[in-house]
Amino acid sequence: MKLLITGGAGFIGSAVVRLAIAQGHSVVNVDALTYAACLENVAAVGNSPRYVFEKADIRDRAAMDRILAVHDPDAVMHLAAESHVDRSIDGPGTFIETNITGTFTLLEAARAHWMGKGRPDGFRFHHISTDEVFGSLGPTGKFTEDTPYDPRSPYSASKAASDHLVRAWHETYGLPVVLTNCSNNYGPFHFPEKLIPVVILNAMAGKAIPVYGKGENVRDWLFVEDHADALLTVLTKGRPGRSYNIGGENEARNIDLVRTICRLMDEMHPQGAPHDRLITFVADRPGHDLRYAIDPSRMREELGWRPSVTLEEGLRRTVRWYLENEAWWRPLLARQGVGERLGVKA
């Protein structure tokens, strides 16, 4: 298949690009190269004859029309999004523009292209979203595909809105769509303002490791390469109009996650050990959801997919990658806002 992947220079998007090329697909990577994007993420496939890069903004309808006409993809995988909750608290406008208006623009361009090709049944618009649209769970229960939406941050609200647009374009216009909502991703190439890379890099530098509140917030952690595999499975096997929750089946409290990383750092980077002495509890961010957990039954029962990487294995692989790839993360630390406490303007 020929895939048009938006946001393919980002964390999850680049994992999808790399795996899609490895599986024999052709890829058109569309990315505006905003602050969290990095073309080094796809350097491993950059010379492949089946890979093309287009620098463009999904809010630019003329650019989207041109790219779709020139490359004529079999499917659109829409990953381009603003995704950092703390940044959405400080500056929600960008999240509204990219995640809502950008998705609308891309949907309209894809619909026009699909109709111009005679509405082929095999075309797919795959919208990649987050479990954060469902809000917060208590100590028990899990999100299913039928859980009512209850977003609590500007980021999750913007993603919820984009989900609704995608469903509406399917119901109203018949555009063949599939949707996925995933749990927290982690792994190599994770932008260094997110929790796991912050812990690794601060531990390496002997700096305080910030943990919000008491560290009792619970997330289900999904290794990014597992997620990429799940997304391509949904794209090729999922039913049009259907949504699929993708989870890692690896729930952990933030404080336990941080302590595990510190233990791995003690083992793999003993300078400065014990690293858990650097853990520092800081004021919680506004609207911090207590717990997310995914029920992945539909992925397992309908598509035969489940994650292959345990949290311990995935964290070990991630720590090792950051220790071995300073040339990748060091320049990113200089980008605007990275390394600063964000999300405190509310």
Q: What is the pLDDT of residue 290?
A: 87
Residues of the chain with pLDDT > 70, as a percent, come to 97
Looking at the DSSP assignment, which residues form a beta bridge with residue 221?
184
Cα dihedral 92, 96, 102, 108, rounded to 10, equals 180
Q: Is residue 286 reached through a cis peptide bond, with omega within 30 degrees of 0 on the bond before it?
A: no
Whether the predicted pLDDT of 340 surpasses 90: no
What is the Rg, in whole angstroms, of the alpha carbon atoms belonging to the chain?
Answer: 19
Average pLDDT for residues 177-184, to the nearest whole number?
97
Report pTM.
0.94
Average pLDDT for residues 198-222, to the nearest whole number?
96
Whether the predicted pLDDT of 343 surpasses 50: no
- pLDDT tier for residue 337 given thresholds of 50, 70 and 90: low
Q: What is the pLDDT of residue 235?
A: 98
pLDDT tens digits for 81-96?
Answer: 997 788 888 889 999 9
In 3D, which of 250, 247, 220 has the Cα closest to residue 144?
247
Catalytic residues: 131-132, 155
Cα 88 to Cα 24: distance, rounded to the nearest angstrom = 36
pLDDT tens digits for 63-77?
Answer: 999 999 999 999 999
DSSP string spanning 234-287? HHHHPPTT-EEEE--S-EEEHHHHHHHHHHHHHHH--TT--GGGGEEEEPPPTT
Residues of the chain with pLDDT > 90, as a percent, come to 90
Mean pLDDT of the chain: 95
Whether the predicted pLDDT of 333 surpasses 50: yes
